[in-house]
Amino acid sequence: MKINSLFSDLAEEIIGVFTLGFMVIIFIFVLVTFGEATGQNQIVNQTVKAILLIIFGIGIPIGIISIIKWIGGLSNERYY
């Protein structure tokens, strides 16, 4: 059953995205706390902006392209 395999793979990917997002939030929180403790707020703010730029500038477009390819694979019965 290729459809069951496809949906289980998709569920694992979604769980992975949420886990990675949670880890990024914790990392940013630790980074901001460390920056406030050492007095290097400006450097930490630039680093957090860079991380968010990478997430929204690279991660989301790749995710959208993957979803489009996944939906296109279902419509022509290739599954991937």
Q: How many domains does the chain have?
A: 1
Kindly state whether residue 80 falls inside one of the protein's structural domains.
Answer: no
Domain that holds residue 52: 2-75
Kindly state whether residue 53 falls inside one of the protein's structural domains.
Answer: yes
For residue 71, name the pLDDT band (cuts at 50, 70, 90): confident
Q: Each residue of 5-41: pLDDT tens digit?
A: 777 777 888 888 889 889 988 988 898 888 888 888 8
For residue 34, CA distances in Å to 27, 40, 50 come to: 10, 8, 17
pTM confidence score: 0.63
Contact indicator for 32, 49 with CB cutoff of 8 Å:
no
